[in-house]
Amino acid sequence: MSRTPKSVDADVSPCPIRSIFSRKKGRPSNAMAGDVEERILDAATAMFLQHGFGGASLERIAEAAGAGKATLYSRYSGKEALFSEVVKRNCERSLQLVYDAPQSAELPQRLVAVTQTLVTRLLSDEVIALIRMVVADAPRFPSLAKLTSDAGRSRAVEAVATMIAEHSGRSLDARTRAANKRHAHVLATQLLDAIVSPMLMRGLMGEDLDEIRGDIRSHVKQTVALFVAADALHAFLVAVGTVVTHRPPHRSVRAELLHTAPTKGVDVKPLRRMRVKYFARGQVFADHTTEP
C-alpha cells in the first residue's frame, strides 16, 4: 500500500547540516579560535614527544591538528615559538593549580600547599617527557633549555615570590615593598630549588613516577620545616623590616615558628645547632650558632 508523503510545514526549522554550511564567512568567533589553538597545542605536544624537537615539523603538526598551514603560521613565527607556547601552557596549568590551592593564614602552611601542588604537576608523565626531550635535544638546540627555564621555572619562582611578598608586605610602605619583593624572590628560588630539584632528578633518572609522587608530601613538609628550623623565614622578615631586630630571635619566637610549621613527624633536633645568617636589608648582619 502506497503512502502519501507528509507535507512539510513552512515553520519547520531548517536542516542543521544545511545551517552549518550556510554560515556567513568571516573571522571565527573567540570560542572557535580558542578551539583551534588548543588543537594545535595538543598536536604539537604529541608531535614533540614522539619525534623530538628536531623531528617535528609545522606541516605535520598542522595536519594532525586539522588546521591549515596558513592558520598555524599566522599564530606562530616558527617551531621555537610553538614549542614555547606548549611549555607556557603547561606552566599556566601548574600555576592555576597554585592559585587554586587552599589559603592559609600562616606562611609555612601556604608554602607547603603551593609547592606540593607544583611538584605534583611537575611530576606528571607529560611534563617529565617534555623535560627529557629538552635535555636530549639540548646539544643541537641549546636555546630550548633557556626557553624552558624562562617559561617554566622562572614563572614558578615569580608566583611563589609574589605570594611570600604579599603575605609579609601587607603593612609595608611602597619603598620597603620593593626590597621585600627582592628578598622574597631569593627565598622563593632557594625554597623551590631545595624542593623541586631532588624530586625532578629522580623522575628524569627513571625512577618509578608513582613511587616518587608518593614521597612528595613528606619531602615538601620536611623541606619547609628545615627552612623554618633554620629561621630562614624569620630572617626574611628581618630583612624586609617586618621584624625589627639585629639579634637572633628569642627562643619563644623560634618555638612559635616551629609550632606554625608542618613539623609533625619531622625530627628537628639535628637542626637545633646550625650556622644561621641573618640578612638586614641585603647585608649579612650576624652569623651565630643557635643553642638548644
Residue 5 in any domain: the answer is no
Average pLDDT over residues 236-244: 50
Domain finish residue from 76, 101, 132: 76
Residues 40 and 136 in one domain: no
**Packing angle of the helix pair 174-204, 154-168 (nearest 10 deg):** 140
Residues 93 and 202 in one domain: yes
What confidence tier does 119 reach under pLDDT thresholds 50, 70, 90? very high
pLDDT tens profile 78-108: 898 899 889 888 878 777 766 666 666 678 8
What confidence tier does 30 reach under pLDDT thresholds 50, 70, 90? very low
Amino acid 259: pLDDT: 42
Q: Is the distance from CB of 252 to CB of 291 less than 8 angstroms?
A: no
First-last CA distance in the chain: 103
Q: Is the pLDDT of residue 24 over 70?
A: no
Amino acid 87: pLDDT: 85
What CATH number should be reported for the domain holding residue 72?
A: 1.10.10.60
Grid coordinates of 240: 624586609
Residue type for position 231? D
Amino acid 38: pLDDT: 92
Distance CA 82, CA 61 (A): 10
Which stretch of 121-135, 162-176, 278-292 has the lowest confidence by average pLDDT? 278-292
Count of domains observed in the chain: 2
Comparing CA positions, the residue from 222, 210, 199 lying closest to residue 118 is: 199
Domain that holds residue 53: 31-76
Domain finish residue from 76, 105, 129: 76
Residues 65 and 150 in one domain: no
Where helices occur in 66-173 by DSSP H, the ranges are 69-75, 79-99, 107-122, 125-137, 143-148, 154-168
Amino acid 8: pLDDT: 44
Domain finish residue from 17, 47, 76: 76
Q: Is the pLDDT of residue 50 over 80?
A: yes
Task: Tell me the pLDDT of the chain averaged across its residues.
Answer: 72
Distance CA 231, CA 147 (A): 34
Q: Is the pLDDT of residue 148 over 90?
A: no
